[in-house]
Amino acid sequence: MLQKLVSEDLSQMGFMYSKSMSVGGIDGCFVARSGYTGEDGFEIAVPPGSAGGTHPVVTLWERLLQDSDVMPIGLGARDSLRLEAGLCLYGNDLDTTTSPSEGTLLWVVAKRRRGEKGSFVGSERILDEIANKSATRKRCGFTINGAPARAGTPILDADGTEVGIITSGGHSPMLKKGVGMCYVKPGLNKAGTELFVELRKKKQTITVTKMPFVPQNYYRGP
């Protein structure tokens, strides 16, 4: 759809590439081949409009919706898509207290940075967690049959002891079941581990599941 509105060859833009271009006659748009859905797509930043006229965002929005293949969606769809893709939501699954080790995001720490404390902000804590496996919690995904388990729900072991907390949860339209992310004690984050939550005063089983729940389809480029 976007290719119809730009002169650049979008097939030459891989995942996370970005470029300034004219979109639908609006100059100075910043286009990035990225998105928070796990699918191929683009995010478009539109320059500010002049006072008193129709804002370029409105103009582009109306232009896009003229195509019968385009439909608007809301934040609910965005949330289910990013959950299925195993993508964190800042403020839920990550915050200022979360380390890459806890969040199972150690790929953000380059190997050349791992040899010396002080080589990056937070290195003393993070390198200790890498070397000594000292993180006290681990992020993982889970699935649940029946009603989805929502953020803030405590996670229990078979004895009823609290061992974690759910940070995101919802229904997966693709899998037809509840999915989510949580933090649990190390060792309980292995795929296949069964834990429990209490929903509507009933004990329900959740199963730790490898993410992404649905395969990601980013466009890697030529």
Q: Are residues 24 and 52 in the same domain?
A: yes
pLDDT, mean of residues 184-210: 97
Does any domain span residue 74? no
Domain membership of residue 31 as a residue range: 2-65
> Is residue 125 domain-shared with residue 140, that is, in the same domain?
no
In a domain, residue 220? The reply is no
- What's the pTM value of the predicted model, to 2 decimals? 0.89
Question: Is residue 54 over pLDDT 90?
Answer: no
| CATH of residue 166 | 2.40.30.110
Summarize pLDDT for 62-109 with one digit per residue, the tens. Answer: 999 999 999 999 999 999 999 999 999 999 999 999 999 999 999 999
Instruction: For residues 127 and 174, state if they share a domain.
Output: no
- At 62 the pLDDT is 94
- Looking at the fold, whether 114 and 47 belong to one and the same domain comes out as no
In this structure, the answer to whether residues 122 and 171 fall within a common structural domain is no
Instruction: Say yes or no: 11 and 37 in one domain.
Output: yes
Asked if the model's pLDDT at residue 50 lies above 70, the reply is no
User: Do 58 and 38 share a structural domain?
Assistant: yes
Looking at the structure of the chain, the number of domains it has is 3
Q: Which H, E and C letters describe the chain, residue by residue? A: CHHHHCCCCHHHCCCCCEEEEEECCEEEEEEECCCCCCECCCEEECCCCCCCCCCHHHHHHHHHHCCCCCCCCCHHHHHHHHHHCCCCCECCCECCCCCCCCCCCHHHCCHHHCCCCCCCCCHHHHHHHHHHCCCCCEEEEEEECCCCCCCCCEEECCCCCEEEEEEEEEEECCCCEEEEEEEECCCCCCCCCEEEEEECCEEEEEEEECCCCCCCECCCCC
In a domain, 168, yes or no: yes
- Tell me, yes or no, whether 80 lies in a domain: no
**Domain final position from 134, 154, 183:** 134
CATH number at residue 53: 3.30.1360.120
| Within-domain flag for 70 | no
Residue 28 within any structural domain of the chain:
yes
Which of 92-101, 117-126, 140-149 is the least confident region?
117-126
